[in-house]
Amino acid sequence: MPPRAYCRYPPEHLDACVESFLASMAPRLRALTPAELATHCAALLSAKLQRDRSLVEEAGRHWEHVSNTRCATAWAGAGRGLG
């Protein structure tokens, strides 16, 4: 089992949450017209491409990446006895 200091929930729990969310959102997603979907995709792309507004924001984004990488590495190593 990987160290819990880096990961709050096991992958199985997160997978179940994603599946539950997708099942609950499926009717709404199916109801979107191609134009509405394109609007949502464009908004998401715009948000992802937006530059950091401050050094604090940039540092937070980088630290989040480091934390997520640690979590992924810890869980990947757990299956091989490395965690």
Domain boundaries, the chain: 11-78
Exposure letters 42-73 (e unless 16+ CB within 10 A, then b):
eeeeeeeeeeeeeeeeeeeeeeeeeeeeebee
| pLDDT number for residue 60 | 92
Residues 6+ apart with CB under 8 A from 82: none
Structure tokens at 77: 């190593």
pTM for the model:
0.48
| pLDDT number for residue 81 | 47
Show the low-confidence residues of the chain (pLDDT under 70): 1-7, 71-83
Cβ(83)–Cβ(75) below 8 Å:
yes
Helix (H, G, I), strand (E, B) or coil at 75: helix
